[in-house]
Amino acid sequence: MHDEPAFIPFCRPTIEEDEIASVVETLRSGWITTGPKVAAFETAFAEFAGAPIALAVNSATAGLHVTLAALGIGPGDEVITASMTWPSVVNAIELLGAQPIFADVDEDTLQIDPAHVRSLLSPRTKALVPVHFAGQPADLDALEVAISGGDAVIVEDAAHAIGTEYRGRHIGSRPQPAVFSFHPIKNITTGEGGMITCHDEALADSIRTLRFHGVSKDAWNRYGRSGSARYEVVDPGWKFNMLDIQAALGIQQLQKVERFNSARAERALRYAEAFAGVDAIRPLGVVPYPHTHAWHLYIVRLDAERGGLSRDELISAMAARGVGVGLHFTPVHQHAYYREKYALQPGHLPRTEAVGEQILSLPLYPTLSFDDQDRVIRTLLDVLCDSETVRVA
């Protein structure tokens, strides 16, 4: 009997010795919550993204929530976003008392469709939240044209887009707010964490207040040398601040983002080559405008008829053979709460719904060895072969 090969996880953060040392140093420093490390991380991230302001929070979910709140989104307002996303922003819209309006996506790239966005505009539309899906940018110029003539502003969901470029510039460099995620699956991590970039000082002030209880000073200022102990709630807010422990990790990770992203790109290319002749498997399409892909996710679409099994069967079979696979995403408008509250019938978003049954995400991270990646590829092809209808060109 020989040992079972080790399970290949779907994702794994890349944590090196300097990150560990930096966190330990912070733990020993006597200041572990929001403080100088967070301030330094904000400065470094702003510079990286090409934005004048960056504001750290404890997740992208928190960042989307607090940004929409600071923009005054509330009851009576509509916010357009994709359904092909993680529920974060949709829940935030709902929790603020506004109504999410779901836009369909391009079925090849899964980017939000500007023409559909345009058709959904109403006098109540206050914001549009496009997702830079899987690490490719949404078509921001086309989306600006789509919402022109109304009052809506764009808030970019840049959770997948650390290092993504649109027309030669980093996501986060445009004037509107963009919200990044540092969850462990993301291109760089702080354990959990998020960052909002923006250009507007007044908006930034409002976010600073709302991310920390709605009090007019944060803890560092209150207890630091320059601070006074007095504080006042000016607007009820949340406890969304990032810790120095997290920022210690983030500062080190940010210095490696190009190395990490090129390791992702290298592995993405290997997948693309491996699947080039397999007609049951189709990787997502490439957006047709100038961009740099951050390769947050490697998503393929399964043609169930050609493959001889469903996407869910494929995911289970791969897990049984020791390969972790992800699903990004189950469309949000199909989740019970939204489906029932807004009486959304099947067929509401035909492209999102069709693709939602076909997609799966393969392991993609800098420490995924080529041997393990080859095993992922072989496992996928074996499962398809075992379903007996695969056709390899």
Ligand X SMILES: Cc1ncc(COP(=O)(O)O)c(C=O)c1O
**Cβ at position 210, least distance to ligand X in Å:** 16
Residues 6+ apart with CB under 8 A from 288: none
Residues 6+ apart with CB under 8 A from 266: none
Of the two residues 160 and 174, which places its CB atom closer to ligand X in the complex?
160
Kindly report whether the peptide bond that precedes residue 180 is cis, defined as omega within 30 degrees of 0. Answer: no
Of the two residues 85 and 176, which places its CB atom closer to ligand X in the complex?
85
Closest CA to 151 of 180, 116, 125, 186: 125
**Cβ at position 155, least distance to ligand X in Å:** 11
Q: Are 178 and 246 in contact (CB under 8 A)?
A: no
**Cβ at position 193, least distance to ligand X in Å:** 7
Q: HEC string of 204-218?
A: HHHHHHHCECCECCC
Does the active-site annotation cover 341? no
Residue 144's SS3 state is helix
- Positions touching ligand X (CB under 6 A) are 59-61, 85-86, 88, 131, 157, 159-160, 181, 183, 194
Of the two residues 146 and 162, which places its CB atom closer to ligand X in the complex?
162
Residues 6+ apart with CB under 8 A from 278: 381, 384, 390, 392, 393
**Cβ at position 59, least distance to ligand X in Å:** 3
Q: Give Cα separations from 382 to 275, 281, 311, 344, 379 (angstroms).
A: 13, 13, 15, 38, 5
Round to whole Å and give the CA distance between 104 and 110: 9
Residues 6+ apart with CB under 8 A from 355: 84, 105, 107, 110, 301
Which residue of the set 37, 126, 186, 217 is catalytic?
186
Of the two residues 65 and 375, which places its CB atom closer to ligand X in the complex?
65
CA 275 to chain centre: 25
- The encoded tokens of residue 322 equal 């020791």
**Cβ at position 123, least distance to ligand X in Å:** 27
**Cβ at position 101, least distance to ligand X in Å:** 17
Of the two residues 133 and 275, which places its CB atom closer to ligand X in the complex?
133
Of the two residues 14 and 61, which places its CB atom closer to ligand X in the complex?
61
Round to whole Å and give the CA distance between 79 and 65: 12
Positions marked active-site: 186
